[in-house]
Structure 1
Amino acid sequence: MTTPDTQRPRPEAPAEVPRGGVGILRTALRRNVGAMAWGTVLMGLYQAGETAFPIALGLIVEHALQDRSSGALALSVAALAVIITTVSLSWRFGMRILQKANTTEAHRWRVRVADCGLQPVARDVDLKSGEVLTIATEDADQTADIIEVVPLLISSLVAVLVAAVALGLADVRLGALVIVGTVAILSVLSVMSRRIGSSTREQQARVARAGAKVADLITGLRPLHGFGGNHSAFGSYRKVSTQAKHQAITVAVANGAYAGIALALNAVLAAAVTLTAGWLAFDGRITIGELVMAVGLAQFIMEPLKLFSDMPKYVMMARASAERMALVLVAPPVTTPGPQRPAAGGDLEVDCVRYGALSALKFQVPAGEFVAIAVYQPRAAADLASILALNVPPDAYEGVVRVSGEELAGLSIEAVREHMLVNPYDGEIFAGTLRTNIDPSGTSRTVPEAVEASMLTDVVALHREGLDHGVRDRGANLSGGQRQRLSLARALAADSDILVLHDPTTAVDAVTEQLIARNLAELRRGRTTVVITSSPALLDAADRVLVLDEGVITAEDTHRNLLATDEDYCLAVAR
């Protein structure tokens, strides 16, 4: 955050967003054409080798054993060894290529979905964070499965065609039976796969909603325990989870029926080929060697047929997952960020802003000033913080917000984030260490100063690891005050030109709050700082206090002058 703007790497141009689930699948296939081509060739060799094995056995019976020659037998064994080696190596390297491509593609989509979920501009998508998490993991993985599905589908088709040709050379009726039987099996299973696809989409949606409910409950776990609402919340989650369970059972039943019918149809086809070949051999129309080949192919063909018949189901599942990803990826942003960057300096101006509890709010903070805003209505404080944090697009409110003289609507989101940091009162704490929470990018040069200013030094001193002390998810092993000071340290370590803090010390004791206020004023001297607070210590440390009441600025002076002259202010902030 301290790197000069001229040294910052420019963000890459955003990748083209595919339209819909089909577009996502096409993008995945197009990006992996090379890997899929090699995988198809190798898996085709594998399936051809598998199919060639019973053909070779039939030829051995037909020729080598009739001649009863040791040389012919040795040659036959060598041919079988070549086939087995081909099968083994082609499977090994073919699956290695396909699984590497699959894993890489899943990673790309996970990053893409996560990037959309972390965009500072809100997106018009009715999905909670828990649902986005499910989409970024399970759905991304299932979408990438299409990379393996297509080559396996083609290689299975190769095996079926090789078997049909080989049987057709023995007797055309055997080849025709395989072709007709395969078409019939796929026709039946394609109808079932559509039902599985729709059921899977509903299951994924319900599982995602259950995940979102868990995320919400974990976020509000402490308040729920505080007023005894944990049992009611658990009942709410249990209801959502039960719905997901019932839908999962429905999908499992459909998958079981699909697998059972596919296996039964494949077995019927194999039995039909075997019985037909036996009848033809008994009638003298095919030789014993061709009978052995037909019986062997009838057994071996069940594997590619099973794989071939499973493909429609996997395609439908991949498409269902891709369509859920499209909900996040193709949703248009609520606002289009501008191309400009803030000029050097750090002044902040709010000009006649109307939004929520704000009514024609107007104030200006010159560069380098430390201003505190005493807000009498909490809703107004939240609305102001949301606007400055870019959680509300400029076209959603009246009036203008200017940063260094430039309107927010014309500025790049990334540039505003680099120039102005708004730290919320409920700043998230992440699993990791104290250091990684304070300086996530590892580039800050002011970590020691930030730790000292936020009075986090006692937490660091408590542990032998110091700043490398482990922090659990959401700061579960820290107290409320420690989490708040850790969040404040992170904001200070960013060392941004403009820093906006929203109630940074509500969970801190009065003595520590006094020290933080003094340290904050000292550390941010000469840098623009705005604190939205009712803390007397922070109000007293500020150069100027603005009183925000009923959505407008009603008074402006130092904290001590306001205490002496404004009775309402005295009642609102005195503790």
Structure 2
Amino acid sequence: MTTPDAQGSRRPGSDILRTAIRRNRGAMAWGTVLMGLYQAGETAFPIALGLIVEHTLRERSAGSLALAIGSLAVIITTVSLSWRFGMRILQKANTTEAHRWRVKVAACGLQPVARDVDLKSGEVLTIATEDADSTADIVEVVPMLISSMVAVLIAAVALGLADLRLGLLVIAGTVAILSVLSVLSKKIGSSTKEQQARVARAGAKVADLITGLRPLHGFGGNHAAFLSYRKVSTEARQQAVTVAKVNGAYAGTALALNAVLAASVTLTAGWLAFDGQIGIGELVMAVGLAQFIMEPLRLFSDMPKYVMMARASAERMALVLSAPPVAAPGTARPEPGTDLEVDCVRYGSLQGVKFQVPAGEFTAIAAYQPRSAADLASILAVNVPSDGYEGAVRLGGQELAELSVEAVREHVLVNPYDGEIFAGTLRSNIDPSGSSRMVPEAVEASMLTDVVALHREGLDYEVRDRGANLSGGQRQRLSLARALAADTEVLVLHDPTTAVDAVTEQLVARNIAELRRGRTTVVITSSPALLDAADRVLVLDEGVVAAEGTHRELLATDEAYCLAVTR
């Protein structure tokens, strides 16, 4: 959901559909031509049969029969080839367009600038897959709709040439069928939109539960979590049943109306033939067209349903694609080797934090309140827009609001205490881009060498989703190795060693100080080992910097500091 301001600027799903059509107009034009040729050939088959019967009854010659058979062969070949190549073009365009939207939604989901959209990651995943595919179906639906209309019009004209009443019956029946089905298609669109939203919520709930599975086990919340998921899943199931009922009613109504029209054409043609107003060949043509017309009519009547489903999916994609950013980033870029300054920042529990980290210094921040540490990390990670807090954060004298987010990301890396571990290998987790030259050094500095040596595959050892086959300490060290391998100008680490033993922590602290020598490093921690390895320690208490000095100086002069960090 978006706020009223966001809703006012958000483009509707129809704009997304128009974009998809505009991008694929060439493929859709060729697809329409070929599928129209296919439908025309299908329609021509019963017409040709009627003409053959009429002509054969008059001339009764082998040459005429051979010519008729050759004509039917041409029609069949045309139908086969036009369908084959038409569907190939349309399905290629469909899958390509779906890929484009998936990538676009994924890019927006990864956008570091905060967006005013209340969608969880599980919902964004559903939008990036199912909704993207459904939206791209418009590329295939429109040509099929036009080609089906061509078939109906050809059939109406052919029957009208035999007898005007037959042609008018087809046209009037088609209009009546579409009028009835348009009402049901609107119901399908609204029901489908609600179903997609509920399925997405269920997916988001699963993602949340998987993320919090270990804590749930810890305090016995499994049953409550199961009931919570069961509730949202039941809602999704009930809505899916509703959609299935509407779809069933739509399909049944369309089939019944199409059958009534075909039967009406057949009976009318039979009556006209019995009355002598049309010939035997025209009767054969009319009966054949009455049977054939059910297929294009079915396609023609199904298309509004698919259009409404595509529109419903496009509306959901618009929630992600068109939501305005909370704050527009700047365009400047920081100079290399610059310092980091936090100037009187007020946000959450922070009550005017002010400090400066010179370029190349290793600074540790001992936050007595965990909330203050989390709020400071969020500010430095640009997870909070510049107008969301008071004060300023500067990089080389330039405020972050003046810098492009991409430039900030290149110069500053904030590694959270709960860094995500991805399915893949140790190597792909440490160096996702495959471009780092610091992988061996990062592995050694983070003390991940024992994990690498434990498996004969080494860095190519397969890691399961969320690091399920690694211990908590191994996951934390893997996340730290990834941060160190990035080798950024400014590195901010938030509690990087809380899950490792004291001996390993000592080694990691010493290794970080050595590896990051000459590079600006900030560690938000209460670890004595990291605090001792730092060039300077800032004490963050009650949202302000209450003291500073080296770890040993503070131990000797600040009793509160001793109580807070001594283990």
Same structural fold, with TM-score higher than 0.5 when normalized by the shorter chain: yes
**Which amino acid in the other structure matches residue 486 of structure 2?**
A
CA distance in 2, matches of 1:210, 1:235: 12
* 1:131-170 pair list within 5 angstroms: 131-170=123-162
Q: 1:195 aligned to 2:187?
A: yes
Per-residue Cα deviation, 1:351-383 (whole angstroms, up to 9, x for no partner): 000000001100000000000000000000000
% identical aligned pairs: 85
How many Å apart are 1:347 and its aligned residue? Answer: 0.8
* 1:339-378 pair list within 5 angstroms: 339-378=331-370
Per-residue Cα deviation, 1:3-40 (whole angstroms, up to 9, x for no partner): xxxxxxxxxxxxxx982101100100000110000000
* 1:5-404 pair list within 5 angstroms: 19-404=11-396
Name which of 549, 558, 562 aligns with 2:541.
549
Q: Determine the structure 2 residue equivalent to 1:4.
A: none
Per-residue Cα deviation, 1:362-416 (whole angstroms, up to 9, x for no partner): 0000000000000000000000000000000111100010011111110000000
How many Å apart are 1:122 and its aligned residue? Answer: 1.0
CA distance in 2, matches of 1:436, 1:82: 57
Check conservation: 1:266, 1:305, Cα contact below 8 A. Answer: yes
Per-residue Cα deviation, 1:413-451 (whole angstroms, up to 9, x for no partner): 000000000000000011111111100111000000000
How many Å apart are 1:64 and its aligned residue? Answer: 2.3
Per-residue Cα deviation, 1:187-242 (whole angstroms, up to 9, x for no partner): 00001100111111111111111111111111111111111111101110000000
Per-residue Cα deviation, 1:295-336 (whole angstroms, up to 9, x for no partner): 000000000000000011000000000000001111100100
* 1:446-457 pair list within 5 angstroms: 446-457=438-449
Q: Determine the structure 2 residue equivalent to 1:409.
A: 401
Equivalent position SS for 1:317: helix
Check conservation: 1:438, 1:489, Cα contact below 8 A. Answer: yes
Q: Determine the structure 2 residue equivalent to 1:528.
A: 520
Q: Determine the structure 2 residue equivalent to 1:572.
A: 564
How many Å apart are 1:66 and its aligned residue? Answer: 3.6
* Structure 1 range deviating more: 144-153 or 56-65: 56-65
Name which of 480, 488, 510 aligns with 1:488.
480
How many Å apart are 1:343 and its aligned residue? Answer: 1.1
CA distance in 2, matches of 1:453, 1:65: 94
CA distance in 1, matches of 2:484, 2:109: 25
Check conservation: 2:365, 2:538, Cα contact below 8 A. Answer: yes
Equivalent position SS for 1:270: helix
* 1:421-500 pair list within 5 angstroms: 421-500=413-492
Equivalent position SS for 1:372: strand
Per-residue Cα deviation, 1:234-257 (whole angstroms, up to 9, x for no partner): 110000000000000000000000
Equivalent position SS for 2:299: helix
When normalised by structure 1's length, the TM-score is: 0.97
Q: Determine the structure 2 residue equivalent to 1:502.
A: 494
Check conservation: 2:193, 2:312, Cα contact below 8 A. Answer: yes
How many Å apart are 1:67 and its aligned residue? Answer: 2.0
Q: How many residues align?
A: 559
Equivalent position SS for 1:127: coil
CA distance in 1, matches of 2:444, 2:262: 77
Q: Determine the structure 1 residue equivalent to 2:4.
A: none
**Which amino acid in the other structure matches residue 431 of structure 1?**
A
Check conservation: 2:10, 2:319, Cα contact below 8 A. Answer: no
**Which amino acid in the other structure matches residue 248 of structure 2?**
G
Per-residue Cα deviation, 1:253-283 (whole angstroms, up to 9, x for no partner): 0000000000000000000000000000000
When normalised by structure 2's length, the TM-score is: 0.98
Equivalent position SS for 1:427: coil
CA distance in 2, matches of 1:295, 1:477: 67
Equivalent position SS for 1:464: coil
Equivalent position SS for 1:548: strand
Q: 1:518 aligned to 2:537?
A: no
**Which amino acid in the other structure matches residue 527 of structure 1?**
R
CA distance in 1, matches of 2:196, 2:404: 35
How many Å apart are 1:465 and its aligned residue? Answer: 1.1
Check conservation: 1:342, 1:411, Cα contact below 8 A. Answer: yes
**Which amino acid in the other structure matches residue 161 of structure 2?**
L
Check conservation: 1:65, 1:73, Cα contact below 8 A. Answer: no
Per-residue Cα deviation, 1:71-105 (whole angstroms, up to 9, x for no partner): 11111111111000000000000000000000111
**Which amino acid in the other structure matches residue 493 of structure 1?**
A
Check conservation: 1:346, 1:527, Cα contact below 8 A. Answer: no
**Which amino acid in the other structure matches residue 215 of structure 2?**
P
Check conservation: 1:18, 1:24, Cα contact below 8 A. Answer: no
Check conservation: 1:120, 1:413, Cα contact below 8 A. Answer: yes
CA distance in 2, matches of 1:244, 1:207: 5
Equivalent position SS for 2:118: coil
- Unpaired runs of 5+ residues, structure 1, are 1-16
- Unpaired runs of 5+ residues, structure 2, are 1-8
Check conservation: 1:64, 1:76, Cα contact below 8 A. Answer: no
CA distance in 1, matches of 2:73, 2:223: 66
How many Å apart are 1:69 and its aligned residue? Answer: 1.2
**Which amino acid in the other structure matches residue 398 of structure 2?**
E
Q: Determine the structure 2 residue equivalent to 1:14.
A: none
Check conservation: 2:335, 2:396, Cα contact below 8 A. Answer: yes
How many Å apart are 1:562 and its aligned residue? Answer: 1.0
Equivalent position SS for 1:400: strand
How many Å apart are 1:70 and its aligned residue? Answer: 1.2
How many Å apart are 1:65 and its aligned residue? Answer: 4.3
Check conservation: 1:343, 1:405, Cα contact below 8 A. Answer: no
Check conservation: 1:18, 1:27, Cα contact below 8 A. Answer: no
Equivalent position SS for 1:233: helix
